Structure 1
Protein backbone atom coordinates (compact mmCIF):
# COMPACT_ATOMS: atom_id res chain seq x y z
CA UNK A 1 0.00 0.00 0.00
CA UNK A 2 1.41 3.37 -1.01
CA UNK A 3 1.44 6.11 1.58
CA UNK A 4 -0.13 9.40 0.59
CA UNK A 5 2.34 12.27 0.84
CA UNK A 6 1.87 15.99 1.20
CA UNK A 7 4.66 17.84 -0.63
CA UNK A 8 6.07 21.08 0.79
CA UNK A 9 8.43 23.41 -1.02
CA UNK A 10 11.65 24.01 0.91
CA UNK A 11 13.68 25.96 -1.67
CA UNK A 12 13.49 27.34 -5.19
CA UNK A 13 16.76 25.59 -6.07
CA UNK A 14 19.88 23.98 -4.57
CA UNK A 15 21.54 27.40 -4.69
CA UNK A 16 19.33 28.47 -1.76
CA UNK A 17 20.57 25.62 0.46
CA UNK A 18 23.94 26.55 1.97
CA UNK A 19 25.77 23.88 3.92
CA UNK A 20 28.93 21.86 3.37
CA UNK A 21 28.70 18.44 1.76
CA UNK A 22 28.20 15.79 4.46
CA UNK A 23 27.09 18.42 7.01
CA UNK A 24 23.49 18.63 8.27
CA UNK A 25 21.27 21.68 8.40
CA UNK A 26 18.08 21.99 10.45
CA UNK A 27 15.07 23.69 8.88
CA UNK A 28 11.43 24.18 9.84
CA UNK A 29 8.78 22.97 7.40
CA UNK A 30 5.14 23.65 8.37
CA UNK A 31 6.08 23.47 12.05
CA UNK A 32 8.15 20.29 11.73
CA UNK A 33 11.90 20.34 12.32
CA UNK A 34 13.91 18.28 9.85
CA UNK A 35 17.53 18.06 8.77
CA UNK A 36 18.84 18.27 5.23
CA UNK A 37 22.15 16.93 4.00
CA UNK A 38 24.05 16.63 0.74
CA UNK A 39 26.00 13.42 0.16
CA UNK A 40 27.60 12.49 -3.16
CA UNK A 41 25.61 15.24 -4.91
CA UNK A 42 22.27 13.85 -3.65
CA UNK A 43 19.99 15.68 -1.19
CA UNK A 44 18.49 13.78 1.77
CA UNK A 45 16.11 14.66 4.62
CA UNK A 46 15.58 13.17 8.08
CA UNK A 47 14.01 14.07 11.39
CA UNK A 48 15.96 16.64 13.42
CA UNK A 49 16.19 14.57 16.64
CA UNK A 50 18.06 11.35 17.26
CA UNK A 51 15.66 8.53 18.21
CA UNK A 52 18.08 7.34 20.91
CA UNK A 53 18.41 10.34 23.24
CA UNK A 54 16.88 13.27 21.34
CA UNK A 55 20.19 14.82 20.30
CA UNK A 56 20.08 17.45 17.57
CA UNK A 57 21.09 15.75 14.34
CA UNK A 58 22.12 19.12 12.86
CA UNK A 59 25.32 18.90 14.92
CA UNK A 60 26.21 15.57 13.33
CA UNK A 61 27.61 14.65 9.94
CA UNK A 62 27.41 12.06 7.17
CA UNK A 63 30.33 9.64 7.14
CA UNK A 64 32.16 8.36 4.04
CA UNK A 65 29.85 5.36 3.57
CA UNK A 66 26.61 7.33 3.86
CA UNK A 67 25.63 7.04 7.52
CA UNK A 68 24.17 9.98 9.40
CA UNK A 69 26.14 10.18 12.66
CA UNK A 70 24.49 11.63 15.78
CA UNK A 71 26.79 14.10 17.57
CA UNK A 72 25.67 13.00 21.04
CA UNK A 73 26.59 9.29 21.20
CA UNK A 74 27.84 8.66 17.64
CA UNK A 75 24.94 6.36 16.72
CA UNK A 76 24.85 5.81 12.97
CA UNK A 77 21.84 5.66 10.65
CA UNK A 78 21.65 4.80 6.95
CA UNK A 79 21.10 7.90 4.85
CA UNK A 80 18.96 5.78 2.50
CA UNK A 81 16.39 4.37 4.92
CA UNK A 82 17.20 5.55 8.47
CA UNK A 83 18.06 2.10 9.82
CA UNK A 84 20.57 2.02 12.63
CA UNK A 85 23.88 0.68 11.31
CA UNK A 86 25.84 0.65 14.55
CA UNK A 87 23.78 -2.16 16.11
CA UNK A 88 21.55 -0.44 18.67
CA UNK A 89 18.20 -1.05 16.89
CA UNK A 90 16.94 2.52 16.58
CA UNK A 91 15.39 3.98 13.43
CA UNK A 92 15.83 7.56 12.17
CA UNK A 93 12.81 8.80 10.21
CA UNK A 94 13.74 9.83 6.67
CA UNK A 95 11.68 11.82 4.17
CA UNK A 96 11.54 11.76 0.38
CA UNK A 97 12.83 14.79 -1.50
CA UNK A 98 12.01 15.76 -5.06
CA UNK A 99 13.87 18.26 -7.21
CA UNK A 100 11.40 19.72 -9.68
CA UNK A 101 11.56 22.53 -12.21
CA UNK A 102 9.79 24.83 -9.72
CA UNK A 103 11.85 23.92 -6.65
CA UNK A 104 12.85 21.35 -4.06
CA UNK A 105 10.07 19.61 -2.14
CA UNK A 106 9.94 17.33 0.92
CA UNK A 107 7.16 14.77 1.35
CA UNK A 108 5.43 14.11 4.68
CA UNK A 109 3.00 11.25 5.23
CA UNK A 110 -0.60 12.43 5.35
CA UNK A 111 -1.32 11.07 8.83
CA UNK A 112 1.33 11.53 11.48
CA UNK A 113 -0.26 9.83 14.48
CA UNK A 114 2.75 9.70 16.76
CA UNK A 115 4.19 13.23 16.51
CA UNK A 116 7.70 11.97 15.68
CA UNK A 117 8.58 15.01 13.61
CA UNK A 118 8.69 17.64 16.32
Structure 2
Protein backbone atom coordinates (compact mmCIF):
# COMPACT_ATOMS: atom_id res chain seq x y z
CA UNK A 1 0.00 0.00 0.00
CA UNK A 2 1.30 3.43 -0.91
CA UNK A 3 0.36 6.49 1.04
CA UNK A 4 0.85 10.01 -0.14
CA UNK A 5 1.24 13.12 1.87
CA UNK A 6 0.87 16.61 0.60
CA UNK A 7 4.02 18.68 0.66
CA UNK A 8 3.84 21.81 2.79
CA UNK A 9 2.68 24.77 0.76
CA UNK A 10 2.32 28.48 1.41
CA UNK A 11 -1.29 29.59 1.13
CA UNK A 12 -2.31 33.22 0.69
CA UNK A 13 -4.94 33.79 3.40
CA UNK A 14 -5.47 37.55 3.78
CA UNK A 15 -4.37 41.08 3.20
CA UNK A 16 -2.07 42.57 5.83
CA UNK A 17 -4.71 45.12 6.79
CA UNK A 18 -7.16 42.34 7.76
CA UNK A 19 -5.29 41.59 11.00
CA UNK A 20 -4.75 44.71 13.12
CA UNK A 21 -2.34 44.90 16.05
CA UNK A 22 -3.73 42.73 18.91
CA UNK A 23 -6.22 41.29 16.44
CA UNK A 24 -6.87 37.94 14.84
CA UNK A 25 -8.32 36.25 11.80
CA UNK A 26 -9.67 32.69 11.73
CA UNK A 27 -9.34 30.94 8.36
CA UNK A 28 -9.97 27.50 6.94
CA UNK A 29 -7.39 25.87 4.71
CA UNK A 30 -8.65 22.53 3.51
CA UNK A 31 -9.60 20.56 6.62
CA UNK A 32 -7.57 22.76 8.95
CA UNK A 33 -8.85 25.83 10.77
CA UNK A 34 -6.20 28.32 11.88
CA UNK A 35 -6.15 31.42 14.03
CA UNK A 36 -3.69 34.08 12.90
CA UNK A 37 -2.75 36.72 15.48
CA UNK A 38 -0.78 39.96 15.33
CA UNK A 39 0.98 41.06 18.51
CA UNK A 40 3.92 43.48 18.72
CA UNK A 41 3.92 43.64 14.94
CA UNK A 42 4.56 39.89 14.57
CA UNK A 43 2.20 37.31 13.16
CA UNK A 44 1.58 33.90 14.73
CA UNK A 45 -0.57 31.12 13.29
CA UNK A 46 -2.04 28.29 15.38
CA UNK A 47 -4.36 25.40 14.70
CA UNK A 48 -7.78 26.20 16.15
CA UNK A 49 -7.75 23.17 18.47
CA UNK A 50 -7.32 23.54 22.22
CA UNK A 51 -4.70 21.18 23.68
CA UNK A 52 -6.89 20.84 26.78
CA UNK A 53 -10.08 19.33 25.33
CA UNK A 54 -10.17 20.11 21.62
CA UNK A 55 -12.26 23.29 21.70
CA UNK A 56 -11.94 26.20 19.24
CA UNK A 57 -9.17 27.95 21.21
CA UNK A 58 -8.35 30.58 18.60
CA UNK A 59 -11.92 31.87 18.59
CA UNK A 60 -11.91 32.83 22.27
CA UNK A 61 -11.44 36.22 23.84
CA UNK A 62 -8.11 37.95 23.51
CA UNK A 63 -7.11 39.40 26.88
CA UNK A 64 -4.09 40.83 28.62
CA UNK A 65 -2.45 38.51 31.12
CA UNK A 66 -3.49 39.15 34.71
CA UNK A 67 -0.63 39.30 37.22
CA UNK A 68 -0.49 39.85 40.94
CA UNK A 69 1.24 43.11 41.91
CA UNK A 70 3.57 42.69 44.90
CA UNK A 71 5.16 45.37 47.07
CA UNK A 72 8.79 45.33 48.28
CA UNK A 73 7.80 42.94 51.10
CA UNK A 74 6.13 40.64 48.56
CA UNK A 75 2.63 41.42 49.85
CA UNK A 76 -0.17 41.45 47.36
CA UNK A 77 -1.28 44.83 46.10
CA UNK A 78 -4.01 43.37 43.94
CA UNK A 79 -4.19 42.30 40.33
CA UNK A 80 -2.95 44.21 37.29
CA UNK A 81 -3.16 43.71 33.55
CA UNK A 82 0.15 43.01 31.79
CA UNK A 83 0.30 44.97 28.52
CA UNK A 84 3.28 42.87 27.40
CA UNK A 85 1.48 39.52 27.41
CA UNK A 86 -1.67 38.82 25.43
CA UNK A 87 -3.63 35.60 25.84
CA UNK A 88 -6.36 33.89 23.89
CA UNK A 89 -8.91 32.07 26.06
CA UNK A 90 -10.61 28.91 24.77
CA UNK A 91 -14.38 29.48 24.95
CA UNK A 92 -15.08 25.91 26.10
CA UNK A 93 -13.29 25.80 29.48
CA UNK A 94 -11.27 29.00 29.78
CA UNK A 95 -7.89 27.41 29.04
CA UNK A 96 -5.48 30.24 28.16
CA UNK A 97 -2.61 30.41 25.70
CA UNK A 98 -0.01 33.13 25.35
CA UNK A 99 -0.37 34.61 21.86
CA UNK A 100 3.39 35.07 21.38
CA UNK A 101 4.24 31.42 22.12
CA UNK A 102 1.02 29.40 21.86
CA UNK A 103 1.76 27.90 25.28
CA UNK A 104 -0.39 27.77 28.41
CA UNK A 105 1.29 30.11 30.97
CA UNK A 106 1.13 27.66 33.87
CA UNK A 107 1.39 24.38 31.93
CA UNK A 108 3.93 24.86 29.12
CA UNK A 109 3.42 21.22 28.11
CA UNK A 110 0.02 22.36 26.79
CA UNK A 111 0.48 24.31 23.57
CA UNK A 112 -1.33 25.15 20.37
CA UNK A 113 0.11 23.63 17.19
CA UNK A 114 1.87 26.40 15.31
CA UNK A 115 2.29 26.97 11.57
CA UNK A 116 4.83 29.14 9.74
CA UNK A 117 3.36 32.48 8.71
CA UNK A 118 4.92 35.27 6.66
CA UNK A 119 3.90 38.68 5.46
CA UNK A 120 5.14 40.37 2.31
CA UNK A 121 3.76 42.65 -0.35
CA UNK A 122 0.71 43.45 1.76
CA UNK A 123 -0.33 39.76 1.90
CA UNK A 124 -0.23 37.10 4.62
CA UNK A 125 0.70 33.51 3.78
CA UNK A 126 0.60 30.45 6.01
CA UNK A 127 2.49 27.24 5.27
CA UNK A 128 0.35 24.16 5.84
- Confirm or deny a common fold (TM above 0.5): yes
Higher strand proportion, which one? Answer: 2
* Cα offsets for 1:50-94 (capped at 9, x unmatched): 111122121232534133322222222232332221227312111
Aligned to 1:10: 13
Computing the radius of gyration from Cα coordinates, the structure with the larger value is 2
Structure 1 unaligned blocks of 5 or more: 109-118
Instruction: Normalising by structure 2, report the TM-score.
Output: 0.63
In the alignment, does 2:113 pair up with 1:93? yes
Q: 1:88 to 1:41 in 2, by over 3 A?
A: closer
Instruction: Normalising by structure 1, report the TM-score.
Output: 0.67
What's the secondary structure of 1:66's corresponding residue? strand
Shift in Å at residue 23 of structure 1? 4.4
Aligned to 2:95: 75
The 5 Å alignment of 1:1-118 reads: 5-11=8-14, 13-15=15-17, 17=18, 21-57=21-57, 58-63=59-64, 64=83, 65-87=85-107, 89-101=109-121, 103-108=123-128
Structure 2 unaligned blocks of 5 or more: 1-6, 65-82
Q: CA RMSD for the aligned pairs? A: 2.5
How many pairs are equivalent?
102
